[in-house]
Amino acid sequence: MGNAGARSTRTSRDIKRLYDFRFKVIHGGVANDEAIVTHIIQVRAILSRLLCRVVEHGLWTEDTIEATLFG
């Protein structure tokens, strides 16, 4: 598996793990503050990479982003 394939597999696994964590907490599970902060940082990192890719591939223009953010 190439580097891109390995990263894709790792990202997919990370997204599933993050989803499972949120599911557990939403449905009554307990998480300490440190685990929640770590979760938020990890989700933000993935969303940041996603937004960069969307912009780099021209899927959203600056106008589209501004319209989405500021209505």
| Positive or negative torsion for Cα 17, 21, 22, 26 | positive
26-46: per-residue pLDDT in tens? 999 999 999 999 999 999 999
Q: Report the alpha-carbon distance of residue 28 to residue 44 in Å, rounded.
A: 23
Distance between first and last Cα of the chain: 42
CA distances from 46 to 15, 30, 58, 70 (A): 8, 24, 19, 22
Given this model, what pLDDT does residue 1 score? Answer: 55
- The per-residue DSSP string of 21-37 comes to HHHHHHTT----HHHHH
pLDDT (mean) for 5-14: 91
pLDDT confidence tier of residue 71, bands split at 50, 70 and 90: confident
45-60: per-residue pLDDT in tens? 999 999 899 889 989 8
